Amino acid sequence: MTHQISVAKANDLIARFVANKEGIANGAFADKDVFSNCQTFEITSVNTMVAQTGTTGLRAYKKLLIN
Residues of the chain above pLDDT 90, percent:
3
Residues of the chain above pLDDT 70, percent:
67
Predicted local distance difference test score (pLDDT) of residue 9: 87
| Domain membership of residue 10 as a residue range | 1-67
Short-list 5, 1, 67, 61, CA closest to 36? 61
Predicted local distance difference test score (pLDDT) of residue 18: 82
State mean pLDDT over 40-56: 87
Question: Which is it for the CA torsion 46, 50, 55, 60, positive or negative?
Answer: positive
Burial class (CB in 10 A: 0-12, 13-18, 19+), 30: exposed
Number of domains in the chain: 1
Q: How confident is the model at residue 10 (pLDDT cuts 50, 70, 90)?
A: confident
